[in-house]
Chains A and B, each alone.
Chain A
Amino acid sequence: MAVRTTRAGRARPGGGGFELAVWYLMRLTGLGLFVLALAHYVITHIVYPSSIQTAEWVAEVRWSSVAWRTLDWLMLSLVLFHAFMGLRVVVGDYTSGMTRTVLTASLYLLGLLLFAMGTMSVAVLPLPGE
């Protein structure tokens, strides 16, 4: 059987299963973030200067509608998966054995904690006039 390698990203894992699914999901979430994260940077750093972004501005302007919050929550989901599964590859490259297990588990826990915090951020903050 030919070895499936590429000259670009991490070689596509053979045999299917979890690793192959993650390999595809990294590319899918990456494509989604190409649009969402770059647009997010342009909106929150170029269009609106960081200096005006008080807590009040976030509540009254940035997160003034359910639509914006839903879009940002979608981005949160994609970015946490992409960033933490990416770090998992980094940890896998430089560690082994118990260290790798502990660090990978810590990554999953931190990722889940941030997902809960981010979900709370967009869900709990009152909408304008609420």
Chain B
Amino acid sequence: MQYLQYRGGIGMLAWAFHRISGVAVWLFIIFHVFSMWLVTANPALYEQVHAVYSTTPGRIGEILLGAALLYHALNGLRIIVMDLWPATTVYHRQLWIGLWVVFVAVGGPMAAILFVRMVEGG
């Protein structure tokens, strides 16, 4: 239970999201490397597996994957900046807000494209 205790603050939230998104992307990579291996090893099975991407749950998963990847990438950059230039930790709140501004500005349009594709098919 000690790992579930909320210790508070932006750093704790950023860390928790980083870990959750990291494990999620790790799980996807295991699936992804395996399914791309099937392209050569068993093309017919690849087609069956890949068809999952075009289902509604698959398309929602695709959007969530992009969100996890983008958050993990942006927060990773925030970690690198604060690790290499500790003076920037003074502005950790601004970096956190900036992360979400970029997340919405970049991820929003991409999610919208995928959402429209999900509704219209294609």
User: Could you say which of B3, B46, B54, B70 contacts A50, with CB atoms under 8 Å apart?
Assistant: B54
User: Could you say which of B25, B36, B69, B110 contacts A118, with CB atoms under 8 Å apart?
Assistant: B36
Determine if B66 and A83 form an interchain contact, defined as CB atoms under 8 angstroms apart.
no
B8 at interface, CB cutoff 8 A: no
A31 at interface, CB cutoff 8 A: yes
Task: Report Cα–Cα, A2/B13, bound state, in Å.
Answer: 27
Q: Shortest distance in angstroms between B18's beta carbon and chain A's nearest beta carbon?
A: 9
Determine if B30 and A114 form an interchain contact, defined as CB atoms under 8 angstroms apart.
yes
Q: Shortest distance in angstroms between A68's beta carbon and chain B's nearest beta carbon?
A: 13
Contacts A8-B89, A117-B33, A117-B37 given: A37-B79 contact, CB under 8 Å? no
Write the A30-48 contact mask toward B (1 if CB under 8 angstroms, else 0): 1101100110011001100
B113 at interface, CB cutoff 8 A: yes
Q: Shortest distance in angstroms between A39's beta carbon and chain B's nearest beta carbon?
A: 11
Determine if B76 and A34 form an interchain contact, defined as CB atoms under 8 angstroms apart.
yes
The number of residues on chain A lying at the interface, defined by a beta carbon within 8 Å of a beta carbon of chain B, is 42
B16 at interface, CB cutoff 8 A: no
Chain B stretch 44-67: residues in CB contact (< 8 A) with chain A: 46-47, 50, 53-54, 58-59, 62, 65-66
Task: Report Cα–Cα, A45/B58, bound state, in Å.
Answer: 12
B18 to chain A: closest residue by CB: A9
Chain B residues with CB under 8 A of A45: 62, 66, 110, 114
B26 to chain A: closest residue by CB: A83
B43 at interface, CB cutoff 8 A: yes
Determine if B82 and A125 form an interchain contact, defined as CB atoms under 8 angstroms apart.
no
A120 at interface, CB cutoff 8 A: yes
Task: Report Cα–Cα, A27/B29, bound state, in Å.
Answer: 19
Determine if B80 and A27 form an interchain contact, defined as CB atoms under 8 angstroms apart.
yes
Chain A residues with CB under 8 A of B59: 50
Residues of B in contact with A (beta carbons under 8 Å apart): 3, 11, 14, 19, 22-23, 25-26, 29-30, 33-34, 36-37, 39-41, 43, 46-47, 50, 53-54, 58-59, 62, 65-66, 69-70, 73, 76-83, 86, 89, 92, 110, 113-114, 117, 122
A-B contact pairs, 10 of them (CB 8 A): A7-B82, A8-B81, A27-B80, A34-B76, A37-B73, A38-B73, A50-B50, A83-B22, A114-B34, A117-B37
